[in-house]
Structures are given as structure tokens and as C-alpha cells.
Structure 1
């Protein structure tokens, strides 16, 4: 069922099913966030949290909730949303659920760029991640190009590039001092440990800046699901649109990598999960962002809940994403797409 909202000369169609699913995801996200704020080696109940948020509570409660858990959770939500948006944009543009930045090597390129920037400057992680992602995207595209860009060639080339760039990342870590190498090795798995308000500001300000572009690209993305000749017949300039979509999606992925590390399979799994929830054939960017946030938050909460040791969140996102990858590979083989 479609609801039509009319405001003067503006008419907006809203799917009831999509609205219900969006409300459900928001409720689940709120519940998961509340649970994540409570859990930890120093548990907090609802009354204690409300007291801290209102300016009260003990100094220890304020430090744990405001300086540790809240920053970590807000970073997880933002990075997960950025990964989910990036993956959904690539998958919709390429008309293939396997074409996500973590599968085709763009996240690995961002990681190498960030590591290189860290070695050379001791900082500038975000510019390094953006440069690495852009360079890896250009290299993968050039290597996969053959009278166009067939999705299967892009995916296979990207998988090979991802393996090569992962090896380069390991080489860069081997040239660092012991403490830095240990920290960066955990970061490469994907971790949200020791996030602070600067990370929160970076991820959410970046999302706010890129949001208008994502909204603007929603319409052409819905047409790129058609065959190229049909989309061209509708008056769409495919090459500039694909360049714009690729640039925004890479910026989203690099932004997430710079704040949370290259969390595996979040960008890959968020889109298919959202499409299963809202099977309307249109880009499900908002649902993908919410799914990515939920996956990242649940993975980080599970990592914190393991007793005695602090596992990186990337361990749990890999456990979530691996079954989704196998399922999608089987589905693509059945369709003859691979």
C-alpha cells in the first residue's frame, strides 16, 4: 500500500511497508543502544544513566558513560551507517550484491592509505584513507575494464586487489615500532575501542556533509537498476552519474574506515539485509544505513560482553557477514551471474 502526502504543489509517495520497517529498525536501534550503554565491566541501570545524562551521578559513572561508552556507541552507529550506505550504493549501481567496497578492495585501499599516512605524518588518517580508496578504485576499474565494466570482472579483480592490498598493509605494519604495530593490527581487524568525541564529530559531521549528495543520488540510483540502454533512453548521463556515485560511496567508506577501521562485511551485508526487509526493487539507502549501524553496534556490544578479553568488533562482523557471503554466492551461481 502506498500513502500519498500532498503539500501544496509537492506530492510524495510513501510505502506503508517501508515506513513500518523503518519504524521497526529505529525501535531495534534504540533498544540495542540502550542495552549497549548498560552492559560492560561496570554495569549501569536505567536510573543511573538518566541521572548521569541529567548532570548527576558519580565521577566514575560520568567518565564511563560519557567518555567511554557513549563515544564508542555513537562512533559505531555512524561508521555502520556510512558502511551501509556505501555498500548499498555500489551494489545498486553495479546491479550485483557482491559489489561492495569491502569485497572489491576499496576498504583495503583505504586501510593502506591510512597506514601510509600514519607512517609518514603520524596522523592525517582520513586524507590518507580517502587517497588510498580512490587509488585502489581507479586501479581496480582499469584492470577490470574490457569493453565496459562487467560486474563479474570487477568483483574478481577487486578480490585479487583486496588480497594484494592486505599484504601491503601487513608489510607496512612490519615497518612500525612494536606498540604502534600492535595498535594498528587491531585497527586493521576493525575496532571501536578507545573512541573519543573527536571520532564522533568526524563521522557524524562527515555524514552530515555527504547526506545531501546521497539524497540527490537516490533518484538516479533507482534508474540505474535498469539496463543501460533503457536508462540512456530516459535521458540519464550514465558515466557522470556513475562517477558521482562512486566518489560519494568511496568517501563514505573512507570516512568509516578512518574512524572504526576496515570492519569486514558490514558494507557487504547491510544492503542485502535491507533488501530482504524492503523488497520493493528500489534503492534502500536509509534501511541499509540502519542495518549497517545495527550490525556494527551489535558486533561491538558482543565484543565488549566477552569476559576477560576485549575482542575487536571486526571478529564479530566477520562472523555475521561470512554466512551472508556464502548465501549470496550460491544465489549468484544459481542465476548464472558468476
Structure 2
């Protein structure tokens, strides 16, 4: 019989329990992220040593190496970490809320709606200032439409996923129509962004995604308590005092907000939101961390996926800086097929 050790903490009116094995998993993910971040800062066409990078980070100047780090590599790294964490957290919220590994924002059409809204705002205003509001509006409208079409005497996870897939295909067709009306240079930049990339980030993008995580992240992590009760079933959760429809709408709002902000700075990186939560669960289970909702672990895995994808795409010996979404698609597409096969065998679909 395995003995479980749990540490209880209390800070004023707040208290909680921490599994030391969960802390070990969190420290491991942080170490992996720091290691890959070091490789991202080190790699590139402009050669820099580790000692030079350390000096630049501590004592920045106006030399060319400082410009390379502070105005290209570091913003790119921070945008990748922030966008990946937002995607991973949004995917975990959706999948745990509906108890379905297929119900992530990019699969259910929320990511496509955010991308469609952002591209529509670019066409109408010819300004990047309205990209984020357009992405949020598109994500909210697509979420509302999916809920409206999937609702039939309740919200079935299977109907939600299939409806979201159909809506995602429709929205991407609208994106193709809008792309055909753009000039060649704008269309080329938009196409690279739609695949998912942060090759030319600015510090404003870092501030934007940081503010999104700072405002929506704690609220999303706080929903871990509600998600554990929803996992027991709607009737039991209602018996415990939860207003299940309200909780689900609030979680959906957080997921759409995180997805829209991530799309606004990095484009709709495919499958990051879908893959982060299952990978986090597998890894945490390997440490014996239990079956709780690994929201923070999913955010960490999402950040690691985007940083790793960016590093791989920049390091390929093909003479081109590939969009990051190319590698995330290569990771996520087989995982999606595997999950679909599992759900079909279970009779869910």
C-alpha cells in the first residue's frame, strides 16, 4: 500500500494542500523551460557566447549584441512562453470542464474564430492595434455560436467537439476568402501569422500577453477547485452547492479570453492547447502526483512546447525560419488521431 504525503499550508483565511510529488513535477518542468530558454537565447545567426549573453542580460548597452538579445531573441522567447502558457491553460480548462480530451479551443473552433476576427480587423482598419480586440470578438462570437448549435437538452461534449470542428472549417474558409482580397505582401505576412509564429515580436506583445496571464491566469487556476467537483458529475457538483451552468460559462469565458490573447500575439498555434493537458497528465502521473487537474502543469507544458517548437524551426538546416506552428502541428496531429481512435473505441463518438 502506497503512503501519500501531503503538506498543508495556511496564510490568513486561505489554506490548501500540496503534494510534494506535484512540486517535484513543477520543478522539473521549470528546469526544462529554463534550459530550453537558454538554448533559444544562444542559438541564432549572430554568434554569442554564454558569458556574453549573461553580461548583456545584466548590463545592457547599445551595441549590436545587446540589440540582438534585447530586441529580438528575448522578446521572442517571452512571447513564446506567454502564448504557450495561455494556450495550455485554456486547453486544460476546456478539457477538464467537459471531461473530454478532444474539447480544446483549437479543436472546438475558438482559435479559428479568434484568428478570423483578428484578420477581419486588419482588413477593416489596416492597423495592428485592433488585432487583439478583433481576436477577442471573434473568439467570443465563435464560442457563442458553437454553444448555440451544440445545445440540445443540455451540452453534450461530443456534440460540442463535432460542432466546433465544423465551425472551424467554415471559419477557415472565410479566412481564405479574406486572404484572397489582400495584397501579396500583406497576404504573405498574414499567412505566416495564421500558421502560428512570433518571428518579429515587440515588447508591446510581451506586455500584452503578460497582462493577460496576470489578469486571467489566477482566476483560471482558482477554477481547479470547481473542476475537481465537476469531475464527480453534474448532480454531485450541484449537490455540493455549485451552480454548474454558471461555472461552465465562467470557465468558458476564461478559456476564450486566454486563447484570444495568445492568438493576438502569436497567431493560432495549432494543437498547443490540445496537447498540453494530456502530456501534463501523463508526466504528472509518472511522478505519482495524483489525478487532480494539472492546470499549472498544462500551462508549463504549453510554454515548453512553444519554446521547443520555435527552437526546432529555427535550427533546421533549410535556410529559412519556419513558422512555429509547423512543428506544433507535427506534434499535435498524431495525438489528435490517437485521441479520436480512443474515443471511438469507447463509444463516445
- TM interval, shorter chain, is over 0.9
Q: 1:165 aligns with which of 162, 171, 179?
A: 171
SS where residue 294 of structure 1 aligns? helix
Q: Contact 1:107–1:262 (CA<8 Å) still a contact in 2?
A: yes
Change (3 A) 1:96 1:49: same
SS where residue 18 of structure 2 aligns? strand
- How many Å apart are 1:57 and its aligned residue? 6.8
Q: 1:18 aligns with which of 9, 17, 22?
A: 22
- In the other structure, the counterpart of 1:294 is 304
Partners of 1:15 and 1:2 lie apart in 2 by 6
Change (3 A) 1:113 1:52: same
SS where residue 5 of structure 1 aligns? strand
Q: 1:46 aligns with which of 35, 46, 50?
A: 50
- 2:19 corresponds to 1:4: no
SS where residue 17 of structure 2 aligns? strand
Moved more, 143-152 or 65-74: 143-152
After superposition, the CA RMSD in angstroms is 1.4
Q: Contact 1:2–1:13 (CA<8 Å) still a contact in 2?
A: no
Aligned length: 338
- How many Å apart are 1:111 and its aligned residue? 0.4
Partners of 2:65 and 2:11 lie apart in 1 by 50
Q: Counterparts of 1:153-232 in structure 2 under 5 Å?
A: 153-232=159-238
Partners of 1:7 and 1:299 lie apart in 2 by 39
- 2:75 corresponds to 1:83: no
Moved more, 167-176 or 264-273: 167-176
Residues 280-327 of structure 1 show CA distances to partners (whole Å, capped at 9, x for unaligned) of 222111000000000000001111112311100000000111121122
SS where residue 6 of structure 2 aligns? strand
- How many Å apart are 1:58 and its aligned residue? 7.3
Q: 1:68 aligns with which of 63, 68, 72?
A: 72
- How many Å apart are 1:206 and its aligned residue? 1.1
Partners of 1:325 and 1:49 lie apart in 2 by 39
- In the other structure, the counterpart of 2:291 is 281
Q: Which stretches in structure 1 are left out of the alignment for 5+ residues?
A: none
Q: 1:321 aligns with which of 332, 336, 348?
A: 332
- How many Å apart are 1:146 and its aligned residue? 1.2
Q: Which stretches in structure 2 are left out of the alignment for 5+ residues?
A: none
TM-score after normalising by structure 1: 0.97
Q: Contact 1:87–1:268 (CA<8 Å) still a contact in 2?
A: yes
- In the other structure, the counterpart of 1:337 is 348
Partners of 1:176 and 1:8 lie apart in 2 by 55
SS where residue 99 of structure 1 aligns? coil
- In the other structure, the counterpart of 2:321 is 310
